[in-house]
Amino acid sequence: MPELPEVQTVVSELNRKLKNKKIKSVQVLTPKIISIGPNTVSNVRSVSPKQVQQFKKMLIGDTILSVRRRAKMLIFDFKGPLSMLVHLKMTGQFIYEDAKLRKKSGGKYRILNKPTAPFVKFPTKHTHVIFTFTDNSTLYFSDVRKFGYLKVLKDTEVDQVKELQTFGPEPLSKEFTFQGFKDKIGNRKSVSIKLFLMDPKVVTGIGNIYSDEILFHAKVRPDRKVSKLTNAELKEIFKYIPIVLKQAIKYKGSSVGDFVRTDGQWGSMGKHHWVYGRYKETCKSCGTDLKRVTLGGRTGTYCPNCQE
Ligand SMILES: [Zn+2]
């Protein structure tokens, strides 16, 4: 599942590539991927042909001004009084193809992050929405698991979107302070620090990968109860949150699972993981065998020697 660095990578690339692109046509191959209005998107929703027509009508002829991010939500701002919110969820992907990339790639991309995965021609059977711009460049939205969505709404309705209201602070913003972070512990004293970091109400955009990495640097085991952490340990964790996330953004995210960049390339942060995805390997710092622990259905990997 993409976390903040992966979503930020996609947002930065789309913002650069889609600025001032005017939509010529929209193809909706899987109606259940789209949604209209501010209401929460249900996974079992049914979308009528009429709503598909409305979705297209709202977007065709409009021009994208910018693409930004709040938590893991992508927010496309249009010249008209419209916005489009996109959540990639588990396996959502955007590929943006212009004449240059089309020539280079032959229209084929590897959508899974395995060296053995085949290059497939786009659109694939997992491509659900295709935008074509007036300069004939194309944006494909694909999603193997189909939990992701594209929601179009009026600018004035964005504030009503519940998913945007419940998020905690952005970890790379000034609003994210040590005191605020500590206060979130409140009476949730028995929660483990890994699950605490992964709670979007505490801080947004941290999932399985970066919670493991942050805790390795802070030298704290993932299963420690938040109430048992010293102030010094909490400070170390807080300190490493932006350091680790910024490093991951620099390397364009971790290509694990289905994450690819908007040109089909992989992010290279995976090569720099200290613990995540390295169970059964040894600690890069001290050589001890890494261990893992299951917490609320999630698995944390850690070094039993470096982390206490
Ligand atoms: Zn170690």
pLDDT digits 0-9 by tens, 227-276: 999 999 999 999 999 999 999 999 999 988 778 899 998 899 999 999 99
Predicted pLDDT of residue 41 = 85
Tell me the C-alpha distance between 83 and 194, whole Å. 34
Tell me the C-alpha distance between 251 and 5, whole Å. 9
The number of residues in the chain equals 308
Tell me the C-alpha distance between 233 and 219, whole Å. 8
Catalytic residue among 17, 72, 151, 252: 72
Tell me the C-alpha distance between 207 and 214, whole Å. 11
* Residue 133: band (very low, low, confident or very high) from pLDDT cuts 50, 70, 90: very high
pTM, two decimal places: 0.95
Residue 284 Cα, ligand 1 centroid: separation in angstroms? 7
Residues of the chain with CATH 1.10.8.50: 178-302
Residue 111 Cα, ligand 1 centroid: separation in angstroms? 34
Predicted pLDDT of residue 117 = 81
pLDDT tens-digit map of 94-104 = 999 999 999 99
CATH number of 4-165: 3.20.190.10
Q: Give me the phi and psi of 216, to 5 degrees please.
A: -65, -50
Catalytic residue among 89, 239, 298, 304: 298
pLDDT tens-digit map of 206-229 = 999 999 999 999 999 999 999 999
Residue 112 has pLDDT above 80, yes or no: no
Residues of the chain with CATH 3.20.190.10: 4-165
CATH number of 178-302: 1.10.8.50
298 is catalytic: yes
Residue 224 Cα, ligand 1 centroid: separation in angstroms? 17
Query: Which residues lie below 8 Å from residue 68, measured CB to CB, with a gap of 6+?
Result: 11, 15, 74, 75, 77
The predicted model gives 172-184 an average pLDDT of 97
Tell me the C-alpha distance between 56 and 76, whole Å. 15
Residue 216 Cα, ligand 1 centroid: separation in angstroms? 9
3 is catalytic: yes
Tell me the C-alpha distance between 205 and 198, whole Å. 8
Residue 12 has pLDDT above 90, yes or no: yes
Residue 292 Cα, ligand 1 centroid: separation in angstroms? 13
Classify residue 248 by its DSSP letter: H
45 is catalytic: no
110 is catalytic: no
Determine how many CB atoms are found less than 10 A away from the CB of residue 197: 24
pLDDT tens-digit map of 17-62 = 999 999 999 999 999 999 999 998 877 778 999 999 999 999 999 9
The predicted model gives 152-168 an average pLDDT of 93
